[in-house]
Amino acid sequence: MTRFADLDGAPTELRERLASAGLDARAVHDAVVRALEEDLPGEDVTSAATIDPAEVATADLVARADGVVAGLDVAELVFWTVVGPGLDLTRRVDDGQPVTRGDVLLAATGPTAALLTAERTALNFLCHLSGVATTTAAWVRALEGTGARVRDTRKTTPGFRALEKYAVRCGGGVNHRATLSDQALVKDNHVLAAGGVVQAYEAVRKRFPDVPVQVEVTTLDQLRELLDVGCDQILLDNMSTPQMAEAVTVTAGRARLEASGGLDLRRAREVAETGVDFLAVGALTHSAPVLDVAMDLRSPGDSGGAP
């Protein structure tokens, strides 16, 4: 929509930051515009009625809780898309940094009405992505010193996979496959359809010889079968802690093992100490609570928080 600024005019450094984060700036801008259109089928009637169009203000995005930040570049893009070239932004922190309650994350100066119009969309992105990063960081802390890494899944919000997986990286986690095309993951229904774990594995290897393959197992016998044919990525599904420990012993370094199914923070370290390489945690993206961030307009004469 012409009432929103096009990406081509966005600051070069903002587009470069998005690219360096592994994000497609055009796709992120498209997501921002869709969100703004959802919020603005017409005019922002409240701001239009109460604020002089010529009024300019500075607004601070302030953490209301401790956590890890992700999505500041997306929030910046929201403000820029609404305000355009008249926007002035000052970053106080970067994505991936821990913050505490009361920290100012970003200061935006521009037309007051436009800042308020952009506020909720910017915060929706920032709070959700920071929530994913904060949840991931809690898992990372739980696994410290074990050698295991927490890894995400495809249980993401439709249309937000790249952003949510970016937030996982900000929290210190590891991304699993992003699509059904970049890696094969043979699960129970594939095994059933193919007639067994080895048959399923070998079918993928024959059809797509250059694609990485991970196979899900529920028993140690299935694990042994796969190790015998050279499978080097195996998912241990809903195994008990003793079973996983035995799986690590049986594997003896011949494959990377990933624990999956029913994992929570209370079991995280116990599972990691079995010697598995990864813990698959869908909750990083599908159940992360938001990190509370608010936007506060400064009072006249207020210079904002300390940089």
Active-site annotation, residues: 120, 155, 187, 216, 237
Asked if 279 and 259 count as a contact pair (C-beta separation under 8 A), the reply is yes
Maximum alpha-carbon separation in the chain: 73
Cα 17 from chain centre: 16
Long-range contact list for 216-219, CB < 8 A, 24+ apart?
216/185, 216/186, 216/187, 216/188, 216/191, 216/260, 218/188
Angle (CA) 236-237-240 rounded to 5° is 85
DSSP 244-297: HHHHHHHHTTSSEEEEESS--HHHHHHHHTTT-SEEE-THHHHSPPPP-EEEEE
Asked if 188 and 160 count as a contact pair (C-beta separation under 8 A), the reply is no
DSSP structural state of residue 174: B
Phi, psi of 262 (to 5 degrees): 70, 25
